[in-house]
Amino acid sequence: MTSDGGTNRGGSICPQGAVSSLITEGRMNEAYKGQSGIIYKSEMRRKLMEEGYRIWGNVGDQWSDLHGQFVGNTTFKLPNPMYFVP
């Protein structure tokens, strides 16, 4: 985390309340630091499935949103020419 409470991932800053909420919910963890988006997002989808949720559809603007494990029955790729998450 940066000194102002944000993650500074990809140049964006998260408000402190959002960061605290992500940490409390177990969605932000040092164990994921440096991992690819595919690995992180697959792990978050796995956790949702373990909590009893079903993933019927998955919509994302990055291929890392749609690849990996637990992607759902259907995926929809939205165009985004502005940035890429590996």
End-to-end CA distance of the chain: 20
Q: What is the pLDDT of residue 69?
A: 93
For residue 39, pLDDT over 50 is answered with: yes
Q: What is the pLDDT of residue 78?
A: 92
Q: What is the pLDDT of residue 56?
A: 94
Q: What is the pLDDT of residue 35?
A: 79
Alpha helices in 1-86 (DSSP H): 16-24, 37-50, 63-66
